[in-house]
Structure 1
């Protein structure tokens, strides 16, 4: 019944005003034409009847004119309110984007923006979202530009720490709290922003935020997450489930998890062609996930388990360090590359002996990996493609500023075909 009256109200609002006036006039004419059909003749003889009758005849038109004036007054109030909100919003934008604004003024403006961000009826929610995201990216721009050019692990770590420091600054905290307010519902209302979203260095575990905020905003199958920039962020493994985060930048991220993460779904989490350079993974059991063709140069894995359903084919593991709590049982790393000198940093727990075992050339080959040998020949840019003998699957690499011994590399990978590209 309520829906019926709402529909009728909408219908009345959409009806043209001239039609409403004509309809009211017709009702008045019907009363004038033959009132005896509508009223008892004895009533018509009563004193004062004509006065009352005149009021009844004119009331439809009078009421309609009054409703128009009332509606006009309401529209004027709403327009005035919109003008006020527009002026307030423009002032907030000016405070946030101006180079002359102090840090304190920007922070206050960010919190004041929250009203426009959370209340969609004000008409500024999407604009406020883009303002928050652009302000965050602007805050991190200098560090991100440095990160594109760095090829030294110590310098990279320093930049990553700077990104996190910015994220935990008063301005960074203000943006995070507003952006992720209401459990991220306002952000999720615009799924198109995720594919190009930059949240580098953001702290998703600030006091006051939901404990499951990461799971809430990064676990929607209908959202395209590919292409995100999340450099330097920290995550708990198990928060991502059944999503595709391929082609995203996770450089310098930290991942901590529990070994017993039992995923009920048969869908595979995709991190294909992602950048995980200088990242750290601790206590994680990888299963039903695809990290094919991702870059793990300089990454560290501590006490991890690679189940058969975890795919790391075609990955760059140069300068990486891994301690397997349980040694992989199959070719989880088919076509991935590693330096011979990295063997000393790859180890595994020897079951029942409580000691570490070291990786030999044969054990590395059993994982399906291609071994590079360092040498005197320096390449500013080295591009090549590899594929196993009698196997059509190929893996392409592009390396910069690297020293390789071509002879040692070729002689120790005789079961691989190598071609420069």
Structure 2
């Protein structure tokens, strides 16, 4: 009886499957390993939900799906043809109906040949369009890459216009980070944002070090480029940290607003690596970081109030001045050095 009850409980876990996402790419990844784990389905639903929110661009038409639809329709018509057309011919006296039935039968019989021709033409057409689009996108990406990294030719005295163009280029690169222009551009866009954040945040830290009374937040607000970069990091947190397989350790997120974010690796049971990350002054209010690797992460002055850090690796993390009020630290691996903050 206990065995039956256990099996019943396992089956009940399937009620956590969200039918809205069952056809989404990656929804059933590692299904056989974790299918009876409720937290697995909750994680899959979360990732699928955020993908819908942050990556709602239209994807290239899928020939395979369309082919499946055409084949299904052909099977239905063929079944109708084999069942009812002979009956019409044998039992209906109306010559017009007989001719129509035979005509329909001929069309159905020739459908596979037409379909094969169509599928090859369709794939070839999509390939040509994709190649043309890649060439155009590559040229645009290379130009945006130069501008986003500050490689802008022009009058040296016109610094404000250069910064404005750099900010505009960074915002334009968000589409490449999301994958709107193809997967091949995502890594390049990610590395541009990563390098830009690191460069600007180092400047902020140097400024704060020089001016003892200057806070990180005030220093960021005084620099329009850094402020816009942080806005992008705030709005694109999912594509910047979760929705890829790129390395996230050592990333700089100084003063970035990450409150209420779901900071888990997109693959269930894998660890989000934020070791050695720069998170000074970051807002992680109510953020979910269970099990994250925060080894030697810089968290000075960060807002960790109500942050979910159960099971996280916080060995060597710098938490001076951090707000740890109501932070969930159950099971966390925590060795704090010179901690002076609020609990």
- How does the TM-score come out when normalised to structure 2? 0.53
Counterpart contact for 2:288–2:307, Cα < 8 Å = no
Distance 1:227 1:162 in 2: 21
1:77 corresponds in structure 2 to: 129
CA contact (8 A) 1:225 1:244 kept: yes
Question: Are the equivalent residues in 2 in contact too, given 1:232–1:250 (CA < 8 A)?
Answer: yes
Distance in 2 (CA, whole Å) between partners of 1:116 and 1:59 is 40
Q: Deviations over 1:155-185 (max 9, x none)?
A: 4764974686247633223323333436625
- Tell me which residue corresponds to 1:110: 170
Alpha-carbon distance in structure 2 between the residues aligned to 1:262 and 1:167: 25
- Residue by residue, what CA displacement relative to the aligned partner does 1:288-345 show, whole Å, maximum 9, x if unpaired? 45541x432xx643xx45xxxxxxxxxxxxxxxxxxxxxxxxxxxxxxxxxxxxxxxx
Give the alignment's TM-score, normalised by structure 1. 0.45
1:138 aligns with 2:199: yes
Q: Is the 8 A contact 2:279 2:302 kept in 1?
A: no
Q: Secondary structure at the match of 1:234?
A: coil
Distance 1:117 1:184 in 2: 10
5+ residue gaps, structure 1, are: 4-8, 15-38, 41-51, 148-153, 205-212, 306-421
Say if 2:250 and 2:278, in contact at 8 Å, map to a contact too: no
Residues 289 and 307 of structure 2 are in contact (CA less than 8 Å); yes or no, is this contact kept in structure 1? Answer: no
Q: Contact (CA 8 Å) 1:271, 1:290: kept in 2 or not?
A: yes
The SS at the match of 1:193 is: coil
| Contact 2:144/2:173 (8 A) holds in 1 | yes
For 1:245 and 1:179, locate their aligned partners in 2 and report how far apart those are by CA, in whole Å: 20
Q: Structure 1 residues 188 and 79, CA, compared in 2 at 3 Å: closer, same or farther?
A: same
8 Å contact kept, 2:252–2:277 = yes
Taking a change above 3 Å as real, the CA distance of residues 224 and 64 of structure 1, as seen in their structure-2 partners, is closer
Mapped contact 1:172–1:202 kept (Cα < 8 A): no
Cα gap change, 1:236 to 1:136, in 2 (>3 Å): closer
SS of residue paired to 2:283: strand
Q: How does 1:55-74 map to 2 (within 5 A)?
A: 64-65=116-117, 68-74=120-126
User: Larger Rg: 1 or 2?
Assistant: 1
Structure 2: state its 5+ residue gaps: 1-21, 23-62, 69-88, 91-102, 154-161
Native 8 Å contact 1:237 1:255 kept in 2: no
Asked whether the equivalents of residues 192 and 224 of structure 1 are also in contact (C-alpha less than 8 Å), the reply is: no
Greater strand proportion: 1
Contact 1:168 1:202 survives alignment (8 Å): no
Q: Which protein has greater RCO, CA pairs closer than 8 Å, 6+ apart?
A: 2
Q: Distance in 2 between matches of 1:230 and 1:262?
A: 17
Structure 1 residues 189-234: Cα deviation after superposition (integer angstroms, max 9, x where no partner): 12653223122x2331xxxxxxxx4442435673233423225323
Matches of 1:244 and 1:290 in 2, distance apart? Answer: 10
Cα 1:284/1:167, change in 2 over 3 Å:
same
**1:250 and 2:293 aligned:** no
The answer to whether the 8 A contact 1:256-1:281 is kept is yes
Q: Is the 8 A contact 1:160 1:232 kept in 2?
A: no
Report what 2:321 is aligned to.
280
Give me the CA root mean square deviation: 5.3
The 5 Å alignment of 1:338-349 reads none
Q: Is the 8 A contact 1:248 1:274 kept in 2?
A: yes
1:94 CA drift (Å): 1.8
Spell out, residue by residue over 1:62-103, the C-alpha distance to the aligned partner (whole angstroms, 9 max, x if none): 775465445433432232222222222222112112433611
Say which SS state the counterpart of residue 235 (structure 1) adopts. Answer: coil
Query: Per the alignment, do residues 228 and 218 of structure 1 end up closer, same or farther by CA in structure 2, a change over 3 Å counting?
Result: farther
Q: CA deviation at 1:118?
A: 2.5
Structure having the higher helix fraction is 2
- Whether the 8 Å CA contact 1:168–1:203 is kept in 2: the answer is no
Q: Quickly say closer, same or farther: Cα 1:164–1:270, change in 2 above 3 A.
A: farther
Alpha-carbon deviation of 1:106? 0.8
Which residues in structure 2 correspond to 1:338-377 (within 5 Å)? none
